């Protein structure tokens, strides 16, 4: 609890090109929850170097992402928006938690398996212990709730296991966090293969809507989206492509699946795809405009980055000191 409010933590990687999945599965919920909780939203740049990055390009991407948080509607005066690498406690706690995490647990992580298959020439130790750094991110702030997409649930479960293990040895040190999964949009699928998650690293650019795509591109990609020959607009297992489009439309408009099915009853796929494309473009165009305005104001962004890193450092230190004491480190003379 901070000032009688429960704590929320979440983060996003600054690599690749962010997709509609990142927006609907995470960012949109962050904004919705931001009044209710004391929020920490981190640009998790330390996670990103588990894959090789070009330094100049990476620096810019991280800045773009930080500005995107604000453009999406997160007020940086009320929400702690910061770069993970600016707060030393993340790495310090991660090391300690590494000593409370088993190799077998990390070996089971599906994201590790997927990423090591994709980057077979660089299966580094950071990629393996990535979920421990994520646990440190969350546990550092005594987090109650973590809004994420479905793909991060396994990491959240591991975080809870590590926290419970630590607490069972040393007493009540960590709050046990709960995941928050949105009712819709928690797993947006590829537009070209609706059995696969929409991913920023997909080689086929038509498979994903990028948050930087312009209106025409968005509409064109939806027009090309893979559907089926059933010719009915229904959310059901036999129609994964159409169901994904319904899911996107529902997440964007707040309408239920039944309402969407009713709205497009008797209409063709062409009309439906156009409506989904236009709805998404209507959301992303103003977001892009705000984003580019924010990026132009360097002094404003620098101020936010500095202030919020100090705030995050302050709160994270409280937990870190407690943990250091519990494991038996000698106290630093200040
Ligand atoms: P990342 O950067 O891959 O994704 C950021 C968020 O977007 C969600 N997401 C999706 N949601 C719905 N449909 C999709 N197709 C889709 N693709 C991505 C993800 O679930 C995530 O919520 N390890 C994390 C970053 C992280 C983190 C944390 C998250 C680091 N520390 C602490 C929460 C708490 C990651 O790589 O997310």
| CA–CA dist 231, 143 (Å, integer) | 46
Domain coverage including residue 49 = 7-181+298-327
Residues 91, 238 within the same domain: no
The rounded Å distance from CA 200 to ligand 1 centre is 11
Regarding whether 147 and 229 lie in a shared domain, the answer is no
Outline where DSSP puts E strands in the chain. 7-12, 38-43, 80-83, 145-147, 178-180
- Per-residue pLDDT for 3 more than 90? no
Q: Which atom number of ligand 1 is nearest to the Cα of residue 189?
A: 15
What are the tens digits of pLDDT across the range 315-324?
999 999 999 9
Statement: residue 16 has pLDDT above 80: no
* Distance in Å, CA 21 to ligand 1 centroid: 9
Shared domain check, 258 and 176: no
98-149 pLDDT, tens digit each: 999 999 999 999 999 998 898 889 999 999 999 999 999 999 999 999 999 9
Mean pLDDT of the chain: 96
**Which of 14, 17, 22 is the pocket-test mutation for ligand 1 (most atoms within 8 Å of CB)?**
22
The yes-or-no answer on residue 296 being catalytic is no
292: left (phi over 0), alpha (psi -120 to 50) or beta: alpha
* Residue 84 belongs to some domain of the structure: yes
Q: Give the per-residue pLDDT at 334.
A: 80
Domain identity same for 38 and 142: yes
The verdict on 25 and 161 lying in the same domain is yes
pLDDT (0 to 100) of residue 248: 98
CA 115 to chain centre: 17
Task: Decide if 262 is catalytic.
Answer: no
The pLDDT tens digits of the residues spanning 162-219 come to: 999 999 999 999 999 999 999 999 999 999 999 999 998 899 999 999 999 999 999 9
CATH number at residue 223: 1.10.240.10
Question: How remote is the CA of residue 27 from the centroid of ligand 1, in Å?
Answer: 9
Write out pLDDT tens, residues 54-102: 999 999 999 999 999 999 999 999 999 999 999 999 999 999 999 999 9
Q: Residue 196 is encoded by which pair of tokens?
A: 């696969």
Model pTM?
A: 0.95
Query: Which residues sit with their C-beta closer than 6 Å to ligand 1?
Result: 9-13, 21-22, 25-26, 44, 47, 134, 137-138, 146, 148-149, 151-152, 186-188, 197-198
**Same-domain check for residues 45 and 139:** yes
Pocket test for ligand 1, best of 16, 17, 25 (most atoms within 8 A of CB): 25
Do 93 and 229 have their domain in common? Answer: no
For residues 229 and 262, state if they share a domain. yes
Structural domain includes residue 310 = yes
Catalytic residue selected from 61, 115, 221, 273: 115
Indicate if 137 and 24 belong to the same structural domain. yes
Residue 128 lies in a domain: yes
Are residue 83 and residue 97 in the same domain, yes or no?
A: yes
At 65 the pLDDT is: 96
- Based on the fold, state whether residues 274 and 302 are members of the same structural domain: no
Same-domain status, 279 and 317: no
The tally of domains found in the chain comes to: 2
Q: Is 200 a catalytic site residue?
A: yes
């Amino acid at each position: 609890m901070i000032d009688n409010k429960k704590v929320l933590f979440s983060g996003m990687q600054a690599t690749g090109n962010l997709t509609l999945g990142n927006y609907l599965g995470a960012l949109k919920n962050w904004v919705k929850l931001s009044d209710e909780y004391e929020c920490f939203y981190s640009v998790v740049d330390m996670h990103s170097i588990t894959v090789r990055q070009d330094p100049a390009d990476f620096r810019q991407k991280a800045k773009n992402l930080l500005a995107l948080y604000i453009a999406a509607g997160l007020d940086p005066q009320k929400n702690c928006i910061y770069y993970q690498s600016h707060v030393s406690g993340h790495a310090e706690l991660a090391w300690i938690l590494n000593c409370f995490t088993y190799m077998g647990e990390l070996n089971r992580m599906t994201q590790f398996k997927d990423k090591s298959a994709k980057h077979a020439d660089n299966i580094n130790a950071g990629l393996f212990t990535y979920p421990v750094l994520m646990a440190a991110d969350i546990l550092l702030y005594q987090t109650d709730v973590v809004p994420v997409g479905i793909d991060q649930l396994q990491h959240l479960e591991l975080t809870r296991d590590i926290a419970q293990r630590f607490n069972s040895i040393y007493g009540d040190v960590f709050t046990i966090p709960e995941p928050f999964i949105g009712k819709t949009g928690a797993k947006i699928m590829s537009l070209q293969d609706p059995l696969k998650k929409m991913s920023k690293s997909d080689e086929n650019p038509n498979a994903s809507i990028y948050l930087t795509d312009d209106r025409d591109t968005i509409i064109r990609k939806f027009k090309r989206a893979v559907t089926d020959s059933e010719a009915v607009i229904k959310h059901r297992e036999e129609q994964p492509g159409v169901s994904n489009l319904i899911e996107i439309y529902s997440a964007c408009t707040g309408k239920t699946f039944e309402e969407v099915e009713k709205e497009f009853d008797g209409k063709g796929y062409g009309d439906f795809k156009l409506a989904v494309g236009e709805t998404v473009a209507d959301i992303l165009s103003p977001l892009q405009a705000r984003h580019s305005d924010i990026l132009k104001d360097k002094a404003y962004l620098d101020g936010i980055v500095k202030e919020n890193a100090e705030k995050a450092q302050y709160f994270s230190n409280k937990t870190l000191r407690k943990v250091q004491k519990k494991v038996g480190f000698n106290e630093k003379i200040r």
